[in-house]
Amino acid sequence: SIPLGFFGGIGRASRQGVLVKGGNYLEALNNVSQIVFDKTGTLTKGEFAVSKVESYNGFNNEQILTMAAYAESHSTHPIAKSIVEAFDQKIDNQRIKDYQEISGHGIKAVVDDKEILAGNIKLMNKNNIEYQEVDADGTIVYLAIENKYAGYITITDELKEDSIKAIKGLKELGIKQLTMLTGDREAVAGRVAQRLGLDNYYSELLPDQKVDEIEELLGRQKENDKLIFVGDGINDAPVLARSDIGVAMGGLGSDAAIEAADVVLMTDEPSKLITAINTARRTRKIVW
Residue span 117-136 as binding mask against ligand ADP, x where in contact by CB under 6 A, dash where not:
-xxx----------------
> Closer to Mg ion at the Cβ: 139 or 154?
139
What DSSP string runs through the chain? ---THHHHHHHHHHHTTEEE--HHHHHHGGGEEEEEEEIIIIIB----EEEEEEE-TT--HHHHHHHHHHHHTT--SHHHHHHHHHH-S---GGGEEEEEEETTTEEEEEETTEEEEEE-HHHHHHTT--------SSEEEEEEETTEEEEEEEEE--B-HHHHHHHHHHHHTT--EEEEE-SS-HHHHHHHHHHHT-SEEE-S--HHHHHHHHHHHHHHS-TT-EEEEEE--TTTHHHHHHSSEEEEETTT--HHHHHH-SEEETT--TTHHHHHHHHHHHHHHHH-
| Piece in contact with ligand ADP (CB under 6 A), picked from 19-27, 103-111, 191-199, 212-220 | 103-111
Residue span 53-82 as binding mask against Mg ion, x where in contact by CB under 5 A, dash where not:
------------------------------
Q: How far is the CB of 234 from Mg ion (least distance, A)?
A: 4
Q: How far is the CB of 268 from ligand ADP (least distance, A)?
A: 14
Q: Which of 77, 108, 160, 226 binds ligand ADP (CB under 6 A)?
A: 77
Question: Which of Mg ion, ligand ADP, none has residue 139 at its interface (CB below 5 to 8 Å by kind)?
Answer: ligand ADP
Residue span 199-238 as binding mask against Mg ion, x where in contact by CB under 5 A, dash where not:
-----------------------------------x----
Q: Catalog residues that contact Mg ion under the rule CB under 5 A.
A: 38, 40, 234
Q: Catalog residues that contact ligand ADP under the rule CB under 6 A.
A: 38-40, 72, 75, 77, 79-80, 104-107, 118-120, 139, 141, 182-184, 207, 234-235
